[in-house]
Amino acid sequence: MVIAYWQDVMQRLDQKVTRTIEQMGNKCPHFAGEDGKFDDIGSDWWTTGFWPGILWIMHDMTGKEHYKEAAWRWDGILEEWFVKPTLELHHDVGFQFLPTAVIKHTLTGDEDGLRRGIEAANFLAARFNPVGNYIRAWNNGPDGKPVPGWVIIDCMLNISLLFWAHKVTGDPRYKHIAIRHAETTMQHGIREDGSTKHIISFDPETGAYIENFGGQGLAAESTWSRGTAWGLYGFIHTYRHTGDVRFLHTAKRIAHYFIAALPEDHVPYWDFRLESLEGMSRDSSAASIAASALLELAGLVPAGEKGLYGGAAEKILRSLTENYATWDQPEHEAILLHGTGSGTSFIDVSLIFGDYYYVEAVSKLNGWKHRIF
């Protein structure tokens, strides 16, 4: 019965994404507002990889060539930004190249995909500060000035690119950088109760920890729900790639916090420590990221623990499927409604990365094996 349910959702996704290919055209999407149309954010933006990532997963799940044809060119478009002027390539090259070049090479053996993925891994590794043992976030801060000492929780999932590069090249330097960054984040970015900080700041000359900022969360000591999902997924994959139980225990702490903090419909508000819920928006993207992560975690723990994490994932995904999806809106280009970037931007919109992780999670429930994050 459960399997049939998710098979049906996969069929609905097949219809939805096929229709969206025609609607999308050549756009590089980030969000869709009330009109249901995705924006065209620019091919160097951090979310560029998620739409082609959806296409590659759908190709892998269905075998249909139109998905592959629509996805094929994207890693080449992204590679151009390594030689063109931009400040938008930074720690998020994992989000850009894992769902494009890396999955392309994984599924097809394409040598350009391999080369571009390694190029992106080299770029990410070059952002490592060996004094502070962290990968630098962004290039400039909100005021336009460089922030060489900032680290953000989002990068925990980007370091999957380095683990992949170690796997395909045999060079352990990629792995060691990823582990050092994870250790630093674990020490300074995760609270004892499993809640997460968004931005942590270091002295780039000495490596000394300075402070943390709220970032996209409500405040410095609040807990941005999507950041919690990024951290959860990142530590799960760090454990998968290293076998180091410290990272598994950290992932479990974050998972317990996330699950315990969910509201009745299992889809979080944009921050877990809001002063009031009145007028506050949900974040379906945080839900879909966490659901995909929890399915991973369920596959890594003993049998007696699988139900906790897998069951929570399915509750989240059923709520998204039945209460947040656009199945009855064929002209809507997104899959999920009610995503939120932060308390001040992209409020109650559809977010392409929310759609990506929803597709990823539903595909896992239908047997998908080609994990890239």
- Residue 107 sits in a domain whose CATH number is 1.50.10.10
Global pTM exceeds 0.85: yes
178-206: per-residue pLDDT in tens?
999 999 999 999 999 999 999 999 999 99
% residues pLDDT > 70 (the chain): 100
Assigned domain for 154 exists? yes
Query: Is 154 assigned to a binding site?
Result: yes
Assigned domain for 372 exists? no
pLDDT at residue 342 tops 80: yes
pLDDT at residue 351 tops 80: yes
Average pLDDT over residues 122-137: 98
56-101: per-residue pLDDT in tens?
999 999 999 999 999 999 999 999 999 999 999 999 999 999 999 9
Average pLDDT over residues 29-53: 97
Query: Is 56 assigned to a binding site?
Result: no
Distances (CA, A) of 1 to 167, 303, 311, 318, 327: 38, 21, 15, 14, 21
Domain hosting 100: range is 2-365
Task: Please report the pLDDT score of residue 181 as a whole number.
Answer: 98
pLDDT at residue 228 tops 90: yes
CA 16, CA 7: separation in Å to the nearest integer?
14
Q: How much is the mean pLDDT over the chain?
A: 97
Assigned domain for 204 exists? yes
Task: Please report the pLDDT score of residue 136 as a whole number.
Answer: 98
Number of structural domains in the chain: 1
Task: Please report the pLDDT score of residue 1 as a whole number.
Answer: 55
Query: Is 92 assigned to a binding site?
Result: yes
Assigned domain for 83 exists? yes
267-282: per-residue pLDDT in tens?
999 999 999 999 999 9
Assigned domain for 272 exists? yes
CA 146-196-217 angle, 5° bins: 60
Task: Please report the pLDDT score of residue 373 as a whole number.
Answer: 86
| Own/partner long-range contacts of 18-23 (Cβ < 8 Å, ≥24 apart) | 18/64, 18/66, 19/330, 20/333, 21/55, 21/66, 21/67, 21/70, 23/331, 23/333
The sheet carrying 199-202 orders its strands as 150-152, 199-202, 209-213
- DSSP assignment of 109-140 equals --HHHHHHHHHHHHHHHTTEETTTTEEPP-SB
Assigned domain for 60 exists? yes
pLDDT at residue 2 tops 80: no
- Higher pLDDT among residues 141 and 373, named by residue: 141
Average pLDDT over residues 148-176: 98
Query: Is 110 assigned to a binding site?
Result: no
Assigned domain for 352 exists? yes
User: Which sequence positions are flagged as catalytic?
Assistant: 92, 154
Assigned domain for 371 exists? no
Q: How many CB atoms lie within 10 A of CB 82?
A: 14
